[in-house]
Structure formats: structure tokens, C-alpha cells
Amino acid sequence: MKAIRHEIQKFIEDEEGLTLLEYILGAALIVAALLSIDFWGTLADKFEDVADEIDGIEADGGDGGDGGGV
């Protein structure tokens, strides 16, 4: 356990290790941003589809439903 802690401490103190870590974190942020752009685009498309369906129901007048209740 002490050896692992020593290696981690050595990695943290090594400037090259920090540079590598910074590049990895930067790449991870870019990937996360790209994935979120795709996610939000897909989500916006789904909302548009739902809005179009609602507009279609309103334009047709709908079937009036069954009144609900018991």
C-alpha cells in the first residue's frame, strides 16, 4: 500500500505527468461537450415531434376522448 501511495505521489509531483493529465482531462471535456451537443439536438428533435403530434391532434379536432372518470 505504501508503494502505491509513493508511486501516486511521484506521478503527481512529476510535471510531465501533470501535462499528460491535463491533456487527458481536456480531451475528456471535449468529448463530453460533443456528446452533450448530440444529446440536446436529439432531445430538441423529440420535443418538436411531440409538438407536431399535438398540432396534428388539434387540427383534426381529436376524437373527444371517452370523458374519463369512473
Helix axes 2-13 and 15-60, enclosed angle (nearest 10):
80
The answer as to whether 52 is a domain residue is yes
Exposure pattern of 20-33 as b/e (b: 16+ CB <10 Å)?
Answer: eeeeeeeeeeeeee
Query: What is the extent of the structural domain holding 46?
Result: 29-56
- Give domain status of residue 33, yes or no: yes
**Residue 37 included in any domain:** yes
Q: Average pLDDT in the 41-51 region?
A: 87
| Domain presence at residue 66 | no
3 state DSSP class of 21 = helix
Domain count, the chain: 1
User: Structure pTM?
Assistant: 0.42
Domain presence at residue 15: no
Confidence band, pLDDT 50/70/90 cuts, at residue 8: confident
For residue 8, being part of any structural domain is answered with no
Residue 63 pLDDT > 70 = no
Does residue 22 lie in a domain region?
Answer: no
| Residues listed for the chain | 70
